[in-house]
Amino acid sequence: MRPARALIDLAALRHNYRLARTRHGGRALAVVKANAYGHGALRCAQTLAAEADGFAVACLEEALALRAGGIAQPILLLEGVFEVTELEQVVQHDLWLVVHHEAQLRMIETTALAARLHVWLKVNSGMNRAGFVDAAVAAAWLRLQASGKVAAITLMTHFAQADEPQLSTTLEQIERFDRAAHGLSGAHSLANSAAILGWPQAHRDWARPGILLYGADPMPGENNGLQPVMSLLSSVMAVRDIAPGEALGYGARYVATRRTRVGLVAMGYADGYPRAVPDGTPVAIDGQASRIIGRVSMDMLTVDLSALPDAGIGSQVELWGREVAINRVAAAAGTIAYELLCNVKRVSLSYLD
């Protein structure tokens, strides 16, 4: 079988959830949307089920998959519902939902429901993507209360630049949220992963850890004690030498300046490893530092074995994980760790506990 795989460390996942809950205080919804950022949503939720206060997903279908797999904790739909018919399933499966625009509010007001809802009312505090603004927050809160269809309202917001601690934007968003929420009863949820780690002013009743659960530190410095959960692994499948002046791979991007021992690795952009990485992007081979040379192709990539005389066919290659921080690979590719993790596909997921 092809050796490309993603090894998921479930003990590291539990460690990161506990760290988030301790750093924030209060309760924490583990965000497992997008198949738990590529890690396997059901398996990750089952791993955290004994201690998580609840889970958050993007949409109804993600929540139903967790319920079908035996997850009984609260599950929040971060995008809310898209059609009025979904409200029946929200009630049937005891789900929580975000309300972030007028049409969703009207759905609740105009639909007969068999049970009252737990609504998370979203405040647009400056990200300007979703949510009610300023005085419209209180108006929406009053309409939800008046509908008689809501058991509890949690007020929430989302930060645009919490991962940039040198900026004042997050403090400004907190202040705007507090003004909008003033006098309205209900729990508060402000902190995403970066705010859990870097903005104690945002620590309220509920945290929503996402990327930090999976060990990719959203804050500069990467010194928050997170443990990487996914190790993207493969093996060297062939070895060849190329002479000075010879080119390697598509586009002849890499040209050897000395005799170079090249390892061919079963991993490519069809597996989710980014094609955009340049020569020199770090990898680890049998635990030793090495680098990508040549352009990543669909199914294969090439690494420099010149300084590793003992490496050869069968040598393990870590593309990211405990030895190669995923943030380094993301930076090399000009993207973020979130995208790399969510793009992992075709490779098998194996779980270590």
Per the residue annotation, which of 17, 122, 250, 338 is the catalytic one? Answer: 250
Query: 3-state class of 212 per DSSP?
Result: helix
Query: For the chain, how long is the longest CA-to-CA vector?
Result: 77
Q: Is 17 a catalytic residue?
A: no
Closest C-alpha to 155, from 201, 202, 116: 202
Rg, C-alpha atoms of the chain: 23
CA distance 72 to 118: 15
- Residue 250 is given by DSSP the state G
Per the residue annotation, which of 17, 33, 37, 273 is the catalytic one? Answer: 33
CA distance 70 to 77: 17
Burial of residue 349, with CB atoms counted within 10 A of its CB: 0-12 exposed, 13-18 middle, 19 or more buried? middle
Q: Is 37 a catalytic residue?
A: no
Give the DSSP per-residue string, 94-135.
T-EEEE-SHHHHHHHHHS--SS-EEEEEEB-SS--SSSB-TH
Q: What angle do helix axes 135-147 and 169-181 make, rounded to 10 degrees?
A: 40
Residue 301 pairs in a beta bridge with 265
CA dihedral 246, 316, 224, 21 (to 10 degrees): 140
User: Which residues are marked as active site?
Assistant: 33, 250
